[in-house]
Amino acid sequence: MSDEIKKGLAGVVVDYTAISKVNPETNSLLYRGYPVQDLAANLPFEAVALLLWTGDLPTEDELKQFQEFERAHRALDPNVKQAIDLLPTDCHPMDVGRTAVSVLGANHPKAEDSSPEAELEKAKALFAAFPAVVAYDQRRRRGQDVVEPNADLDYSANFLWMTFGEEQPEEVVDAFRVSMVLYAEHSFNASTFTARVITSTLSDLHSAVTGAIGALKGPLHGGANEAVMHTFDEIGIRKEESREDAAGRAKAWMEDALAQKKKIMGFGHRVYKNGDSRVPTMKAALDRMIAHYGRDEMLGLYDGLEAAMGEAKDIKPNLDYPAGPTYHLMGFDTEMFTPIFIASRITGWTAHIMEQRASNALIRPLSEYNGPDQRELPNG
């Protein structure tokens, strides 16, 4: 293999972006220059979405206008519900998300209009509509009736209202808001780069988001938050167990898994090699949820796995590791975790779609051929 080949494009810089800066040396993440921790501590997710799309924090009036738009565009189009209802309730919810975005695209009057104004309008509409896709899908799988959006609630509180059918405590809503801010954007990750490749052919925004959803589904990427919960379930969650006992079982599970050379979801990262800059903020939110629901054994499982992985391979958790148990405590079904990631990352994906379009070049790398030399057909 030519030493020119960078498998997985590891370490390859392919373009500029002004949207976010991931810095493994300083273990930091900036959204348009603002540390993500500051944004997570102070702003509604709607404001972070506007920051990613426009490059600046919104004025009070701009935020108010967007929040009014978002509240007015939450309800699912009837044909989106019909399309979802055509899908089996045991298919993966990422397939439901992918399908819903395709229908939302087909519905949009400006689907083929790639002007900056139309792209921003479509991004805002997707942002507003997608929570209802997640909520509708979880409820139909549970045999529960649809819960219509509540325009009195902000984005995060309404997301939980539509999913669970009752308003959630402020502390839970805030932890959910923090997770949405942290999941929103992360430079040229696999799903975002997928969206940029599709956009580079001058295809439309919804096609690019649909492709990005396909990439996010994989457990090496967004699917990891669901896979983390499968790990906890495999170890066994025992509500009355002491934190110490849970940690002991978790460590034993990890040591066994690593002895079998298993890849442990929720750990490691292509760019961060000394820990994911978002983990401390998400772990603090998880700690608040563990205290809120009185679930100390979850902390034991979390700490036990982390300690064993650290001792064995010095590999640190990524954002998916604290995010998974947080969503579990909130009451989301495990297979809904990555669709929640879609809802957040729609902001980053569409910001990159707009940036790619504004300074486009068709993305088409080369390959080094290592197949058979030229040869004749057997009959000459």
Provide, rounded to whole angstroms, the least separation between the CB of residue 25 and ligand SDX.
16
Closer residue to ligand SDX, CB minimum distance, 34 or 69: 34
Provide, rounded to whole angstroms, the least separation between the CB of residue 188 and ligand SDX.
8
Distance between CA atoms of residues 77 and 106, nearest Å? 11
Paired residues of 21 in beta bridges: 30
Residue spans of alpha helices (H) in the chain: 36-42, 45-54, 60-72, 78-85, 93-107, 116-141, 155-164, 170-183, 190-200, 205-216, 224-235, 243-259, 279-293, 296-313, 320-330, 337-358
Q: Is 318 in the site for ligand SDX (CB under 6 A)?
A: yes
Provide, rounded to whole angstroms, the least separation between the CB of residue 318 and ligand SDX.
4
Q: What are phi and psi of 35, to 5 degrees?
A: -60, 135
Q: Is 270 in the site for ligand SDX (CB under 6 A)?
A: yes
Q: Is 253 in the site for ligand SDX (CB under 6 A)?
A: no
Report helix, strand or coil for 30.
strand
Contact segment (CB under 6 A) with ligand SDX among 66-74, 112-120, 268-276, 322-330 equals: 268-276
Report helix, strand or coil for 9.
helix
Name which of residues 44 to 63 contact ligand SDX (CB under 6 A).
none
Closer residue to ligand SDX, CB minimum distance, 177 or 269: 269
Distance between CA atoms of residues 172 and 209, nearest Å? 28
Contact segment (CB under 6 A) with ligand SDX among 121-129, 134-142, 258-266, 354-362 equals: 258-266
* Number of residues lying near ligand SDX (CB under 6 A): 21
CB distance 76 to 136 below 8 Å: yes
Closer residue to ligand SDX, CB minimum distance, 8 or 380: 8
Q: Which amino acid is at 281?
A: T
Report, as residue numbers or ranges, the catalytic residues: 221, 269, 320
Q: Of residues 269, 316, 352, 357, which one binds ligand SDX by CB under 6 A?
A: 269
What would the x/- binding string for ligand SDX be over residues 138 to 177, using CB under 6 A? ----------------------------------------
Closer residue to ligand SDX, CB minimum distance, 307 or 315: 315
Q: Is 179 in the site for ligand SDX (CB under 6 A)?
A: no
DSSP state of 76: P
Q: At what angle do helices 337-358 and 116-141 cross, to 10 degrees?
A: 170
Residue 340: which of 350, 328, 351, 352 has the closest Cα? Answer: 328
Q: Is 9 in the site for ligand SDX (CB under 6 A)?
A: no
Q: Is 320 in the site for ligand SDX (CB under 6 A)?
A: yes
Q: Which amino acid is at 10?
A: A
Closer residue to ligand SDX, CB minimum distance, 103 or 282: 282
Q: How far is CA 122 from CA 1, 127, 150, 198, in A?
A: 43, 8, 22, 16
Q: Is 265 in the site for ligand SDX (CB under 6 A)?
A: yes
Closer residue to ligand SDX, CB minimum distance, 271 or 284: 271
Closer residue to ligand SDX, CB minimum distance, 153 or 279: 279
**In sequence order, which residues have a C-beta less than 8 Å from that of residue 7 and are 6 or more positions away?**
none
Distance between CA atoms of residues 300 and 291, nearest Å? 13
Q: Of residues 93, 97, 211, 268, which one binds ligand SDX by CB under 6 A?
A: 268
Q: Of residues 9, 125, 146, 315, which one binds ligand SDX by CB under 6 A?
A: 315
Name which of residues 181 to 240 contact ligand SDX (CB under 6 A).
186, 189, 220-222, 224
Contact segment (CB under 6 A) with ligand SDX among 130-138, 287-295, 312-320, 353-361 equals: 312-320
Residue 237: which of 297, 287, 293, 292 has the closest Cα? Answer: 297
Q: Which amino acid is at 220?
A: L
Residue 348: which of 213, 226, 229 has the closest Cα? Answer: 213
Provide, rounded to whole angstroms, the least separation between the CB of residue 74 and ligand SDX.
25
Interface contacts to ligand SDX, rule CB under 6 A: 8, 186, 189, 220-222, 224, 263-271, 313, 315, 318-320
